[in-house]
Amino acid sequence: MQDIRWNAFWLSLTLTVICLIIWASYSANVALFVFSAVVSIYLARHLYWLHQLSKWLKKPVLNHIPSGSGIWGDIFASLYQEHRRHSQNQTQLSSALGRFRHAASALPDGVVVLNSNNEIEWCNPPAEIKLGLNLKQDENQPINYLVRHSDFLNYLQAQEYSDPIKLKSWRNSEVTLEIQLIPFGTKQKLLICRDVTQLERIEAMRRDFIANVSHELRTPLTVVGGFIETLMDVEGAVPESTRSYFNMMLDQTTRMRHLIDDLLTLSHIESNVQAPDDAEIQMSALINMMINDAKVLSQGKHKINAEIDANVNLIGAMGELQSAMSNLISNAIRYTPDGGEIHISWGIHNKNAIFSVKDNGIGIDQQHIDRLTERFYRVDRGRSRETGGTGLGLSIVKHILTRHQARLEITSELGVGSTFSEIFPSARIVQKQPDASE
């Protein structure tokens, strides 16, 4: 740019000086003629190279770039270098893309690249097979026109892609697919599709096994427990010297019955793929009933108080939610020493409905909190057993909440107390107008 400006400056200066000399030596007309002739030649030369440039730009082939002369030589040389760099970058990019496609094609999982309008940019052969796509025909087609499964369409629309979804393949009902969308770049998405049929089968076998074993154990245990109780009730049937053993047998059979009941509940909830009922639950009545049960369980050893928003109801399965909430209350009673305080609350916070149970009991060390909802995870096995725990309560709670698109939040401090909160999404809330008389 600097060169062009200097070039133009020196040329105009030289021309002006020459024209002034001609004017002084000959006449103004001759000077004007010389001036116009030089300017015309200068312009014609530039126009010629401009024309060459525009011709080349229409078909920008690197080898056919004009050579130019003077300032145009520099311009064409820069253009040549820039174009060469660009071509090299493009070659590198397309070879990287080729390598990526090659690698992605070799993956056993289906991979689909979607643009910001959810149109298919590319997919690998496993995706074609699993999702019934055909890249040649379906390129640039919106994925929602081709994958018409309602669960997938809801997932795509919800724009909440942190977890994958599982669905039965619409091409073969025996096959279960796990689909996850991963946003990347500028509003593009990667769709990953896995065949999880085998995993699902193993999981179902595990669930069935636990459910069957629990069922099989339930009857003999009921019989044994029943006989022990009968024997203890019949006068003289159990000698005083062995009565304590019979008491221990009765305790253990009761414990095993609770364990089996919880295992059956868990496997029932886990294997239930049906969405929970969408009945409106009168929450204040339900919570008051649970508070009465809690008072019986506590036997007056704890101070139980509550703060309930009577205008907030929930949509869901009454039995399941009652179990999820009463579990937290009974835990609070079992893990809070006598004289402790338990506060139960229900209401709306930040558009979510929250059922919360706060106690000032033994509390939980931070390292255990993330694992509490695992099956049979207990911080203190002895205390859990002593208080009739099975180690399955919070895992049942978690499953029920997941079925209701809700989550469990736990805050606790060792020796200070714990707060367990069940957080329900706004879609499950029914809010009544406050009663004027209240």
Asked if residue 393 binds ligand ADP (CB under 6 A), the reply is yes
Residue with tokens 């402790």: 340
- Residue 335 binds ligand ADP, judged by CB under 6 A: yes
> 290-293: long-range contacts at Cβ-Cβ below 8 A with a sequence spacing of 24 or more?
290/322, 290/325, 290/326, 290/329, 290/344, 291/329, 291/344, 293/326, 293/329
Is the CB of 225 or the CB of 391 nearer to ligand ADP? 391
Cα 227 to Cα 306: distance, rounded to the nearest angstrom: 42
Q: Give CA separation, 288 vs 124, 283, 292, 379, 427, in Å.
A: 57, 8, 6, 30, 24
Distance, CA of 126 to CA of 98 (rounded, Å): 17
CB neighbours (10 Å) of residue 297?
16
Out of 138, 320, 359, 422, point to the residue binding ligand ADP (CB under 6 A): 359
The CB density around residue 97, as the number of other CB atoms within 10 Å, is: 11
Q: Is 195 in the site for ligand ADP (CB under 6 A)?
A: no
- Of 186-194, 271-279, 316-324, 390-398, the window that binds ligand ADP (rule: CB under 6 A) is 390-398
Among 221, 263, 394, 400, binds ligand ADP (CB under 6 A): 394
Candidates 361, 399, 403, 404: give the one binding ligand ADP (CB under 6 A).
361
The only residue of 287, 324, 332, 344 in contact with ligand ADP, by rule CB under 6 A: 332
Cβ 397 to ligand ADP shortest distance, Å? 7
- DSSP for 204-233? HHHHHHHHHHHHHHHHHHHHHHHHHHHHHH
Note whether 232 and 249 are within 8 A (CB). no
The continuous run of DSSP H or E covering 192 comes out as strand 188-195
Shortest approach of ligand ADP to residue 410 CB, angstroms? 8
In the complex, what is the shortest distance from the CB of residue 379 to ligand ADP, in angstroms, rounded to a whole number? 3
Give the range of 21-29, 47-55, 272-280, 361-369 binding ligand ADP by CB under 6 A. 361-369
Closer to ligand ADP by Cβ: residue 130 or 378: 378
Residue 267 or 331 having the CB closest to ligand ADP: 331
Which DSSP letter does residue 278 get?
-
Q: From the list 176, 253, 418, 421, which residue makes contact with ligand ADP (rule: CB under 6 A)? A: 418
331 touches ligand ADP (CB under 6 A): yes
DSSP state of 277: P
Binding of residue 364 to ligand ADP (CB under 6 A) = yes
Single out the segment in contact with ligand ADP by CB under 6 A; choices: 147-155, 194-202, 249-257, 354-362.
354-362
Return the residue of 391, 407, 423, 430 that touches ligand ADP, per CB under 6 A.
Answer: 391
Q: How far apart (Å, rounded) are the C-alpha atoms in residues 304 and 296?
A: 11
CB closer to ligand ADP out of 320 and 359: 359
400 is a contact residue toward ligand ADP (CB under 6 A): no
> Kind and range of the H or E element at 110?
strand 110-114
Q: Does 253 bind ligand ADP (CB under 6 A)?
A: no
Q: Is 237 helix (H, G, I), strand (E, B) or coil?
A: coil
CA-CA-CA-CA torsion for 150, 177, 129, 141, nearest 10 degrees? Answer: 30
Q: Which pair of structure tokens corresponds to residue 2?
A: 């600097």
Q: Which residues in this chain contact ligand ADP in the complex, by CB under 6 A? A: 331-332, 335, 359, 361-362, 364, 372, 377-380, 384, 389-395, 418
